[in-house]
């Protein structure tokens, strides 16, 4: 007779409650995940991506991973529909299933939408911690949606010295909304509405973030000042001259990036860059195996594609916290 299995179901609101106010703890968990990957305790099969439209990159991804020393396995099922915001829907939605590795039974099913947004912005913030200048006072955004807002909040935790934030977007109403929302929490920051003048938004920035659903070369190399850090969040958001300008190109994991539909992968396919042009993966810098920024004149390019093991490990820690707090709905299978 099959033994009954208890599965904890967690909503997005419950996950947001756990992570809100605990961003620095979440960042620490994500750094731990990268270190586990280097230690060889992570299994990361290839991501499966079903792309339904090449032009918009509308897709559903299946991202499995296992954290062997935690005896946990999981999969994230994430939908990326870039045109959704035009119809009032979220661009990215996801769900995560976790299983224990003693008997292979499921233990948790949770909303992955907020967790994905948190992880994406946290990885950008971690990159800025190691790759940004000692003082990053100016930040510039191309894109003003939810991911841009999450990035700003995370960056401000790592760089409390930020005092100017310039924002541009193809939709001016999102810039206005971004600034209105951020002003409520950050009275020490001057927010500048650049409308769709992307050059104005980034030309003075110590940290540049592109977070758009647009598949176009919005960011131009001529706009970037020496010493800047560029956080590439979306798929194709910058011209080839931008990574060609960089003193260092760093990825969350190059082997994952180069097979995706991003600027660097496009350049790799076109023969414009090769493996040896990539300085290292982020985990090597976190572990101290490679140096991050060495001076304030370096222009550093960081590309994060999103790695399933990071989501699975963060989800597992959220699940453990939820169990301690008595959160979630218990379902017996």
- Paired strand residues for 303: 232, 251
Q: How confident is the model at residue 76 (pLDDT cuts 50, 70, 90)?
A: very high
Over residues 261-320, the pLDDT tens digits come to 789 999 999 999 999 999 999 999 999 999 999 999 999 999 998 899 999 999 999 999
Report how far apart the first and last C-alpha atoms of the chain are (Å, whole number).
13
Integer Cα distance of 321 and 299 in angstroms:
39
Over residues 17-32, the pLDDT tens digits come to 999 999 999 999 999 9
Supply the mean pLDDT for the chain.
93
Please enumerate, as own/partner, the contacts of 187-192 that have beta carbons within 8 Å and a separation of 24 or more: 188/163, 189/156, 189/162, 189/163, 189/164, 189/165, 190/163, 190/164, 190/165, 191/165, 191/166, 191/167, 192/164, 192/165, 192/166, 192/167
In order of their start, the domains of the chain are 6-115+308-332 (3.30.1780.10), 131-303 (3.40.50.720)
């Amino acid at each position: 007779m099959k033994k009954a299995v208890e599965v904890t179901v967690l909503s997005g609101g419950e996950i947001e409650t756990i992570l809100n106010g605990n961003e620095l703890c979440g960042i620490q968990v994500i750094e731990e995940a990268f270190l586990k990957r280097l230690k060889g305790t992570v299994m990361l099969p290839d991501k499966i991506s079903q792309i339904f439209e090449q032009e918009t990159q509308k897709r559903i991804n299946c991202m499995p991973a296992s954290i062997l020393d935690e005896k946990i396995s999981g999969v994230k099922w994430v939908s990326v529909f870039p045109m959704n915001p035009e119809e009032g829907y979220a661009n990215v939605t996801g769900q995560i299933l976790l299983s224990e590795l003693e008997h292979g039974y499921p233990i948790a099913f949770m909303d992955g939408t907020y967790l994905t947004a948190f992880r994406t912005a946290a990885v950008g913030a971690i990159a800025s911690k190691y790759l940004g200048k000692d003082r990053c006072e100016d930040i510039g955004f191309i894109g003003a949606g939810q991911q841009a807002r999450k990035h700003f909040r995370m960056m401000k935790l790592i760089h409390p010295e930020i005092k100017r934030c310039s924002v541009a977007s193809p939709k001016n109403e999102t810039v206005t909304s971004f600034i209105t929302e951020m002003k409520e929490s950050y009275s020490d920051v001057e927010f500048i509405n650049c409308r769709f003048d992307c050059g104005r938004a980034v030309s003075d920035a110590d940290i540049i973030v592109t977070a758009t659903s647009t598949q176009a070369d919005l960011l131009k190399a001529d706009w970037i000042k020496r010493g800047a850090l560029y956080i590439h969040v979306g798929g194709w958001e910058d011209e080839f001259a931008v990574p060609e300008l960089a003193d260092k190109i760093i990825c969350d994991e190059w082997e994952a990036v180069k097979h995706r539909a991003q600027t660097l992968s496009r350049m790799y396919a076109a023969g414009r860059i090769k493996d040896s042009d990539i300085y290292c993966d982020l985990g090597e810098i976190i572990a101290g195996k490679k140096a991050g920024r060495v001076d304030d004149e370096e222009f550093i390019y960081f590309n994060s594609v999103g790695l399933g093991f990071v989501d699975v490990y963060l989800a597992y820690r959220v699940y453990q916290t939820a169990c301690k707090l008595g959160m979630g709905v218990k379902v017996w299978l």
